[in-house]
Structure formats: C-alpha cells, structure tokens
Amino acid sequence: MGKYILRRLVISVLTLWLLATASFFLLRVLPGNPFQTEKLLTVEMQQKMIHYYGLDKPMLEQYVTYMGNLLHGDMGYSMKFTNRTVNSIITSGFPVSAALGLRALAVALPIGLFLGILSARKRGKAMDYLAVLVSVIGVSIPSFIMGTFLQYIFAVQLKILPIAQWKGEAYAILPTAALALALLASLTRVMRASMLEVTTQDYVKTARAKGLGEGRVVFFHQIRNALVPIVTMLGPMVASVLMGTFVIEKIFAIPGLGQHFVNSITGLDYTVTLGLTIFYGAFLVAANFLVDIAYGLVDPRIRIAK
Amino acid sequence: MTQRILEVNNLAYSFDTYAGEVQAVRGVSFHVDAGETLAIVGESGCGKTVSVQAILKLLPEPPGRLVGGSIRYLGEEISQHNPKKMSRLRGKEMSIIFQDPMTSLNPTMRIGKQIVEGIRKHERISRREGRARAIQMLGKVGIPSPERNMNRFPHQFSGGMRQRVMIAMALACKPRILFADEPTTALDVTTQAQILELMHALKQEFNASVVMITHDLSVVARVSQRIAVMYAGKIVETGNVRDIFYDPRHPYTWGLLQSVPHREGDRRQELIAIPGTPPDLFHPPAGCGFASRCRYCMGVCKQMEPPQTDLGNGHLVSCWLLDGRAPKTDTPPLAQRKGVQANG
Amino acid sequence: MRNETIQLPEAAFVPIGLTLSDAESISRPSITFWADVRRRLLKNKVAMLGLWLILLMTLFAIVAPIVSPFSYSYQDLAIINQGPSAAHWFGTDSLGRDIWVRVWVGARVSLAVGIFGSVIPSLLGIIIGGISGYFGGKIDMLIMRFIDIVMCIPGMIYVILIMLYVGSGPVAIVLAFALTGWMGTARSVRGLVLQLKEREFVLASRALGASHMRLIFDHLVPNTLGIVVVSMTMGVPSAIFQEAYLSFIGLGIAPPIPSWGQLANAGVALFRVFPSQLFIPAILISLTMLSFNLFGDGLRDALDPRLRM
C-alpha cells in the first residue's frame, strides 16, 4: 500500500505544479490588463499599477517570484479589490461553498446508492423503471437549469422557499437540491449497473450455496463488491460538485468562492483567477488523493500485491 | 442396507428466454446412497450443471423454471422448498464446489472469514471457535500456515490453492452430500491429481457422498463407484463403474469411451470423435436425442424416445438397440476396456 | 428384460445409419454480430424515441431558420419581451428578436458544438490511445503518465483557461474540447487494445504473418468500434452541457450568435417576469441531452454481447 500511496503523491504534486505553471503563463499572455476596464484610471496610473504588480517584468522573473510566493502560501492581492488578498477571498468564500458542496454530497450519496441497489434488486419491476427514468432525466438536466426550475416552482410560484441568498437553513434547501439531483441520478445509474454486474458473479452463487441468508449475501457479497467501481467515481463526483457550485452560486446569489471565481474571469482579475485556479486544483488533487487511498482500502487487490 | 441420501426422479428444468423455452433438463433420474461417489458424465451443454444447480435451487428464476420432477433428500421432498428452507439445507446438508476457482471466491473478503461465515450460519458457535474450525479445515485441505493464510485474500492464492479453500468451505459443516461441478477442469494435470486425492481422503473422513460432474472419463474411473451418462438433457445410461467400462450398452457411451486416446494404442491411428453436434434444446427432437449422431440409428429412434431397460445390478440403459426387435449389436472394440482399475 | 409390448412395425427397426445432415444443422438462424446489434437496437423503443427526437431537432435546426421570415439578429424594439403569438411562435426577447428563429439557429450552434465537440476528441483519443496500447513500451508509459497527471483536474478548468486565451465562439469551444477531451477515451481505448492484443485471435493472426495495418484494421478496429461509438454518442450531451455551462458563466458563444446556453443565460436575468425565455432553451437543452442519453444507453445495451441470448 505504501508504494501505491507514494506514487499517487508524486503524481499529485506534479499535477499541481503543471497546473500552476500552465495557468500562470496562460493568464499572462492574455491581451489587455485588468486595469483597462477601470475608467477612472489614466494611462499613467495604469502604468503605475502595472509596475506595482510587477506585470512589466520579464515573464520568467514573474514566474519565479510567483512560485516562490506560492510556496509560502502567498497568493498576492486582488487586482480589482486592491485591499483584499486572494487568501482572504478564499477564507471568506470557501466555507460557504464547502457547506453547499458537502450538503449536496451528503444528500446525494446515501439516496443515490440506496436507489441504485433497490433498482437492481427489483429489476424489471415498476420500481426499477421509475428509478431508471428519474435517473436518466436527472442526468440530462444540467444542475443550473434544474436550479432555475426549482427556484421558479418553489420560490416564485409556490413561495414556500426563499429564492436566493444564504441566510439560514431554509436558504440552503433549493441550492442543495439543485446540486444534488444530477449527482444522485448518476450514482443511481452506476450503482444499479454495478449491482447487476456483481449479481451474476460466481462468488455470489457460492455465498448462497453455503446457505447464507439473503441479507448477508446482499450486503457482504453483493453491495460490498458493487461499491468498488463507485469509489473510483468519487473523484470526478467531487469535481463536478465543485464546478456546479460556480453556477448554482450565481443563480442563488450565494456569497461563495464560485461567484468570486466567475467574476474574476470576466473582470480579468489575474491574481484572483490564478489563485483560485490553483486553490481549486490543490483541493481537487487532495480530494483525488484521498479517493485513491479509499480505493486501495476498498479493493484489496489494489493494496496487496500477490 | 445403505441409506439413500438423494433421490431424483424425472427432473425437468427449462429456461424461458426471449427466443423461447430452452429445455435444459428433460427428465433426469438418479440416486445417491451413503458413502458413494456418483459421476455424471457428458459433454458441455448436456444439462449436468443445470441438473445439480437446480437441485440446490441456485439458478436465477426467471429465467429458470422447475418444470417438474421430484427431489427427495433423506426421504423428504425438497423440490418445493422456499428459499429459507433451502438455505438451511445448503452448506449444512448439501454443499457444492464450482468449476472456476478464480471467480468463485469473494475478492474483497478474507478467506478465513468466508469459511467462518458459513459455519456460523448453521452452528451456534463463538467467533473464536469459528476461527479455530476454519484453521482446522484449512489445514485439512493442505493450505500451509493456516493461521496466517486465513487472513489473506483470494487473489493472493493460486488456482489450486483456491480450489482447496472452496473444498474447505464446502466441507466445513460436514454435509452429507457434496456436489463437485467439474472441480478440476480449470487446473493443470498435477494439481488435478492432488485435488482428487484430497477429495477422496476427505470423503472417507467425513463419510460424505459425492456427485462428481465431469466430462473427463479418466477422472471418473479413479474416483467413482457409479456413473450416469448424460446427453441432451437426459440420462442415457447408468451403472456401476465396472459395467460402464466393461459392458457399456449405449452408443453414446461407446462414443465417449472410444474417444479417449489409448495409452497402449497405435499412435498412427486417428483420434475418434463423435461426429456432429448436440441438438438444439429449443426444439428437442421427438425421438432419441442422440439419433442423428448415432451410426446404429434406426427408424424408430427418430420417432419415439427409447424406453429404459434394466439390465440388473443398477445398470439402466435407454436405447432402442436393447429392444428384442433390434439387430444384435456388439460393443465396438475400442469401447471395451481391459484392466481398468475401478475404485471400490 | 426386453420390452416388446410397444406396437411398432418391423421396418422401424431397420438401421438407417448416421444422418449427419440433421446433426450438423443449426436450427436457430444464424445472424451476424452487427445485424444482431441493429435488431436489438430497433426493438428498444426508448432508444428509438431518443433517436427520433434527435432527428426531429436536427430537422428543425436545418429547416426552421430557412423558412422563417425573421433573421436571428433582426431587432424590433417596439415588440420586446412578448409572449408566444401567431407571428412569433416563441415570442420575442428583450431586444425584440424572434425567439423561435434564435432558438433554431442556436440549435445549429449547440448541436454542431455538441457533435463535433464529442467526435473530434473521441477520434483523437482513439488514435492516441490506440497507438499507446498497440505499441506499448516507453511511448505507452509516457502518454499514460501524462494523462494521469493532467486528469487529476477536471477538464472544465482547463477549458476555462483555454477559452480565456482563445476567445469565445463555436470554433474556440470545439478546439478547447478537443484539447482536453481526448484523454478519457484514450485511456479506455488503450485498455481495450491491451486486452485485445493478448487475445488468441490476434496471436493467431500474427502467427499467420499479418502486418500491423492488417491487425489494426481487421481485428482491433471492429472490436473497439462498439465502445467507441457508444462513447461518442454519450459525449454529445456532455459537450452540450459544457457549452451551456460556459455560456452561463460568460465564456461561451458571444452574442449576437445565439446558442442554447447563451439563450438560457439571457433568460435567467428575466425569468421572474418572462420565464418562457429561460424555459424554452432550458427544456430544449435537457430534451436533447436526454435523447442522446437514451439512444446512447440503448446502443450500449445492444452492443453488449452478454445480453445476447
């Protein structure tokens, strides 16, 4: 297991470095500068700002400086909101986004897995068709569209839930639902397929042949093995929840990190875009790393060589 | 008078597929007495696996369906047992080991636990006792360092070792009858011999009966007392080992015996195979299933199914050649065995 | 004990010998793999529904803008934000443009982006994955390591970064997808090729002296075709989704060229008052994704040899 972890660790670090480098150079070659849109700044003042942010130094020097700062955890100041550091943006926005994301995962995982198992067990019956239908629809409707639908139905028409913002428990319901639905649908599909695959395996027959009760067969032999492919999905799942927060936050006016990210892109706020990209990257790399470990734990064939 | 452990009469099992009904087993009858080994021999697709799995109710239903027949275990009819009752029998009274050891064990569960869970389902013993029993069984089947190895996972063992684990699992609760579905087909010849030896020794020790399914006649000769030859969903000939090898009466049995290469035979001679392929079980033939491949085929063979003839001593044959009106036919020379060591 | 009680004519017992023609006859009509796939697919009503919807939408996308009297950019500020009417079947938007025409021009864009955005990365992925798997060795290791490292981060982030550089527009989007979307397909094709390489029929072919080209085209391609086609089909809803997503965060197709994602984005701003401007493109996006998903699922099931009974 140790060797496996080490390999994943090295890959993770390389990924981060690649991402930071790529983002840095990509953003630097973009035409224009963030101060162009500030109508109040004269050209001279723009030049002064450019100089202050070191944007006129040779590319390589900027890169080295940036990397050095990065290793210290310093990601610089926002170019738009000049009194805020990127770090402070992260610390104010991330908890909100994380709360949203975690809620979505906490809702989607148990329900999705349960539906998938149920659907597979009752294959061909009404429950199965219903679950498959719901999951196919859920996968086909993008989360932001679902978000606006939910807003329309529950907030505008029925008026039983708040339409936007993040001020209390009730505010979290619609955004969480919007994020969770697509995830849930996808989980149901995969779990169902995985269960069906496992059910035809010989070792399930062996378990029954030993006289084990159905409950034990389903839990320890079927579900236990069906979960293995699900674990490999967890990485992309976390990533898609993360990407989902960008748009959901926009629709529901939630003051999370996603909003800042999207705004920094259109506002050409380099340091924020760069900083957040690296932050997200690091977060996802860490998440993937944890998932890899979980995969090793769940499938003994990975962690124990012959 | 030895006890009759299992009696199967006219077992018929079919599969309902999108293309129609596949009659996999079309009326199979056999019995197993205490302490004996019955071999069921036949080519792939003849229904031997389905018969045995149908007895244990291990086939998914749908598409499987028990069409008819009686299955008596120790005199009690079990063909209509619900899953709960069957689960009490499986593992405790009747066990089975499957053909492919690579896929028959749960890859995410330690082998010790896989043995213990079977024992604790049927006997009220503590976890510690269960582990001790598992270690004991692993030792009996020849797994080295059982205390350490019981915590390993199946993928850490070779095919032969895994099959031993399967045997340990199957015999852990001392069942009266063990079904072995081609237990050695997936193994190399040396391992094959070892596994057969092991099964033989354990059978004596546990005083169990064995139903051995195989397509390999050499295996049959070594381990069984009685043989049932199966073809196209029916049993065509049954008898004890001596009768089958020295006095076979069914043309299919002749074909099987002829096709085994002789050790002392002429090396320049071509291998003899039975021409043709088994019939389609979607539309089973009206007459004898073997008719179109049989060189002794007569008109009646294609029209009507042959009745069963009892030649005494438990030697049963279903063939029109035994009818008084059929021309006298001798056993072909290569189908006759001399000096075969039958197992007592 | 000889049984002579059954009444049968003497002639019944005359030997007639081997009748092999019966023995070798196969009573189930034989059917080629692809014919079987087509049969199973056609039987799958849900998948066929998906296919019909796709064809219907394509038809509308091609014909509707040609037939309509309005162009997608014509503005008539006197009739802004109107609901559906006889003249404007889907109503008008905030600049007085006919939504029906814009929706179907947008359909052209979204569908084109969706299809090319799936097919091109898939083709790239097949080639790269195929080379990697077939030749193995150092090339394989390098490519796989590269993919491992890059894929830790979701493609969308790279797409965003690329779009920032390349600008907006359908070509830019397809380019961004092409650059980032080949990796998943490459991985699975490589895995498949590795498996197939070791299969007996390939070894047999090589023993008979087949050249690389022959092996690739006669053996490997037909066996990977199924997986590839399914992945391309399932890639389309994914590409459509990504385009909509990008438009939603302001990076997608720039106005006045409409795309469904862009129309949806514009609709969000107004949806409390004029919900139809959001819902129409939203429903179309979802319906298209659903159709491709249903058809793709059906295709996958039809190609699965285990479901063949």
Subunit contact C12:B300, Cβ cutoff 8 A: yes
A-chain residue closest to B97, CA distance: A206
What pLDDT shows up at residue B339? 47
CB B292, CB B259: distance < 8 Å: no
For residue B175, report the phi and psi dihedrals to the nearest 5 degrees: -70, 160
Distance CA B187, CA B157 (A): 13
Neighbours of chain A (3+ CB pairs under 8 A): B, C
For residue B273, which amino acid is it? Answer: A
pLDDT at B340: 47
Residue B104: list chain A partners with CB under 8 A.
202-203, 205-206
Instruction: Answer yes or no: do A15 and C244 touch at CB < 8 A.
Output: no
Count of CB atoms situated within 10 Å of the CB of A170: 10
Distance from C91 to chain A by nearest Cα, in Å? 19
* Interface contact C268-A26, CB threshold 8 A: no
Q: How far is CA C105 from CA B232, B300, C24, C62, C302, in A?
A: 63, 75, 60, 8, 33
Residue B323, pLDDT score: 82
How close does chain A come to B120, measured CA to CA in Å?
9
Query: Chains with ≥3 Cβ pairs under 8 A against B?
Result: A, C
pLDDT value for C3: 47
Angle C33-43/C45-67 helices, nearest 10 degrees? 80
Which candidate from B56, B104, B121 shows the least CB-CB separation from A212? B121
The per-residue pLDDT for C126 is: 87
CA–CA gap between residue A275 and residue C191 (Å, rounded): 36
| Dihedral sign computed on CA atoms, order A131, A132, A133, A135 | positive
Which of B19, B310, B325 has its CB closest to that of C13? B325
Pairwise CA distance, residues A240 & C302, whole Å: 29
Tokens of C15: 């030997």
pLDDT at A168: 76
- Across the range C185-202, mean pLDDT stands at 80
CA neighbor of C282 nearest in space, from B238, B247, A149: A149
- Structure token pair of residue C149: 């490292």
The pair of structure tokens assigned to B239 is 């008898």
**How far is C-alpha C183 from the chain's CA centre?**
16
The helix/strand/coil state of B226 is strand
- Report the C-alpha gap between A145 and A103 in whole angstroms: 19
Of A236, A247, A273, the CB nearest to C248: A247
Residues in B 256-275 with any Cβ partner in A closer than 8 A: none
In the structure, what pLDDT confidence band is assigned to residue A278 with cuts at 50, 70 and 90? confident
Window from B13-17, B26-30, C80-84, C204-208 with minimum mean pLDDT = C204-208
Any bridge partners for residue B211, and if so which?
B38, B179
Contact B233, B284 (CB under 8 A): yes
**Phi, psi of B30, deg, nearest 5:** -160, 170
Task: Say whether C157 and A281 touch across the interface (CB within 8 A).
Answer: yes
Q: Do C24 and B277 touch (CB under 8 A)?
A: yes
Contact status of A21 with chain C (Cβ, < 8 Å): no
Cα distances (angstroms) measured from residue C295 to each of C55, C160, C175, C241, C301? 12, 29, 26, 17, 10
Q: Which residues pair with C267 in a beta bridge?
A: none
- Comparing alpha-carbon positions, the chain A residue that sits nearest to C46 is A133
pLDDT over 60 at C292, yes or no: yes
- For residue C309, the chain B residues in CB contact (below 8 A) are 17-19
Give the length of chain A.
Answer: 306
Distance between CA C119 and CA C175 in Å, rounded?
12
Say yes or no for a CB contact (<8 Å) between C282 and A30. no
Contact A278/C at CB under 8 A: no
The neighbour count for residue B20, using CB atoms within 10 Å, is 13
How big is the B-C interface in CB pairs under 8 Å?
79
Q: What is the pLDDT of residues C148-180, one digit of tens each?
A: 888 877 788 888 878 877 777 888 889 889 988
Q: Are the C-beta atoms of residues B213 and B48 closer than 8 Å to each other?
A: yes
* pLDDT of residue C144 exceeding 70: yes
Contact map slice: C 19-48 vs B, CB within 8 A? 19-20, 22-24, 26-28
Ordered DSSP codes for C163-193:
HHHH-SSHHHHHHHHHHHHHHHHHHHHHHHH
Q: Of C153, C156, C271, which has the smallest distance from its Cβ to A19's Cβ?
A: C153
* Least confident window among A162-171, B181-190, C270-279: A162-171
Residue type, C194: L
The pLDDT value given to residue A269: 75
Residues of chain C neighbouring B280 (CB-CB closer than 8 A)? 26-28
B298 and chain C in contact, CB less than 8 A = yes
Q: Which string of DSSP letters, residue by residue, matches A47-100?
A: HHHHHHTTTTS-HHHHHHHHHHHHHTT---B-SSSTTSBHHHHHHHHHHHHHHH
CB contact under 8 A, C249 and A246: yes
Inter-chain residue contact A265 with C264, CB threshold 8 Å? no
Rounded distance between C-alpha atoms, residue C233 and residue C289, angstroms: 10
CB-based contact B162:B101 (threshold 8 Å): yes
Q: Is C165's Cβ below 8 Å from some Cβ in B?
A: no
Contact list, C19 vs chain B (CB under 8 Å) = 291-292, 297, 302
The string of DSSP letters for B182-199 reads STTTTS-HHHHHHHHHHH
Q: Dump pLDDT digits (tens) for A168-178.
A: 777 888 889 99
Say whether residue A263 is in contact with chain C using an 8 A CB cutoff.
no
E strands present in C204-285: none
Give the total residue count for chain B: 344
Answer yes or no: are the C-beta atoms of C298 and C46 closer than 8 Å: yes
Q: Which amino acid is at C57?
A: M
Which residues in chain B are contacts of A198 at CB distance < 8 A? none
Task: Fill in the DSSP letter of residue B313.
Answer: T
Q: Which pLDDT tens digits describe chain B residue by residue (344 residues)?
A: 578 899 999 999 999 887 788 899 999 999 999 989 999 998 877 889 999 999 999 998 878 899 999 999 998 999 999 988 998 999 899 999 998 888 999 999 999 999 999 999 898 889 899 999 999 999 999 899 999 999 999 999 998 899 999 999 999 999 999 999 998 888 888 888 888 888 889 888 888 999 999 888 877 888 899 999 999 999 999 999 989 888 899 989 988 888 777 666 666 777 777 877 778 788 888 888 888 888 888 888 888 888 889 998 889 999 988 888 778 887 777 666 654 444 43
* A300–chain B Cβ distance below 8 A for any pair: yes
Contacts by C232-235, CB closer than 8 A, 24 or more apart? C232/C118, C232/C119, C232/C122, C233/C118, C233/C292, C233/C295, C233/C296, C233/C299, C234/C292, C234/C293, C234/C296, C234/C300, C235/C117, C235/C118, C235/C119, C235/C121, C235/C122, C235/C181, C235/C185
CB of C57 within 8 A of CB of C288? yes
User: Token pair of B342, please?
Assistant: 């039958």
* Chains touching C, CB cut-off 8 Å, 3+ pairs: A, B
The pLDDT of residue A35 is: 60
Whether B145 and B178 have beta carbons less than 8 Å apart is answered as no
Residue B297 forms contact with C (CB below 8 Å): yes
Measured distance between the N- and C-terminal CA atoms of chain C, rounded to whole angstroms? 44
Nearest to B153 among A203, A298, A304 (CB): A304
What is the ipTM, given to two decimal places?
Answer: 0.84
DSSP B308: E
Q: How many residues does chain C have?
A: 309
Handedness of CA B307, B310, B311, B315 (dihedral sign): positive
Q: Which residues of B touch A224 (CB under 8 A)?
A: 106, 108-109
Is the N-terminal amide bond of B63 cis, ω within 30° of 0? yes
Q: Does residue B149 sit at the A interface (CB-CB below 8 Å)?
A: no
In C67-104, which positions are buried (b, 16+ CB within 10 angstroms) versus exposed (e)? ebebebeebeeeeeebeeeeebebbbbeebbbbbbbbb
The DSSP element (H or E) to which B230 belongs, if any, is: strand B226-231
Q: How far is A123 from chain B (nearest CA, A)?
A: 11
Q: Tell me the per-residue pLDDT of B145-175, one tens digit each, with 9 for 90 and over.
A: 999 999 999 999 998 899 999 999 999 999 9
Q: Where are the beta strands (DSSP E) in chain C?
A: none
pLDDT band at C309 (very low <50, low <70, confident <90, very high): very low
Window from A39-43, C225-229, C304-308 with minimum mean pLDDT = C304-308
**Could B275 and C19 be called an inter-chain contact, meaning their C-beta atoms sit closer than 8 Å?**
no
**Do A202 and B100 lie within an 8 Å CB cutoff?**
yes
Q: What is the pLDDT of residues A214-223, one digit of tens each?
A: 888 989 899 9
Nearest to B90 among A201, A209, A214 (CB): A209
What is the spatial distance between Cα C281 and Cα C262, in angstroms, rounded to a whole number? 9
**Chain C contact for A140, CB < 8 A?**
yes
Residue of A198, A210, A216, A228 for testing the chain B interface, max B β-carbons within 10 Å: A210
**B282 contacts C15? CB cut-off 8 A:** no
Q: What are phi and psi of B38, to 5 degrees?
A: -105, 130
Judge: A224–B83 Cβ closer than 8 Å, yes or no.
Answer: no
Q: pLDDT band for A55, please (50, 70, 90 cuts).
A: low
Mean pLDDT calculated for residue range C219-233 = 78
- Least CA distance to A235: which residue of chain C? C152
Q: Nearest-CA residue of chain A relative to B59?
A: A205
Q: Which of C3, C11, C18 sits opposite B275 (nearest CB)?
A: C18
State pTM to two decimals. 0.82
pLDDT at residue A16 greater than cutoff 90: no
Q: By the CB < 8 Å criterion, does B316 face chain C? A: no
Q: Of residues A101 and A153, which shows the higher confidence score?
A: A101
Residue of A nearest to B114 (CA): A207
Across the interface, which of A205, A211, A304 has its CB nearest the CB of B122? A211
Q: How far apart are CA C290 and CA C110, in angstroms?
A: 15
pLDDT band at A128 (very low <50, low <70, confident <90, very high): confident
Pairing of strands B177-181, B20-33: unpaired
Nearest to residue B301, comparing CAs of B274, B316, B320?
B320
In this predicted structure, the answer to whether residue A138 has a pLDDT above a threshold of 90 is no
Most confident of A274-288, B168-182, C12-26: B168-182
In angstroms, the CA A249 to CA A240 distance is: 14
- Mean pLDDT on A54-76: 73
Measured between beta carbons, the chain B residues lying within 8 angstroms of C17 are 295-297
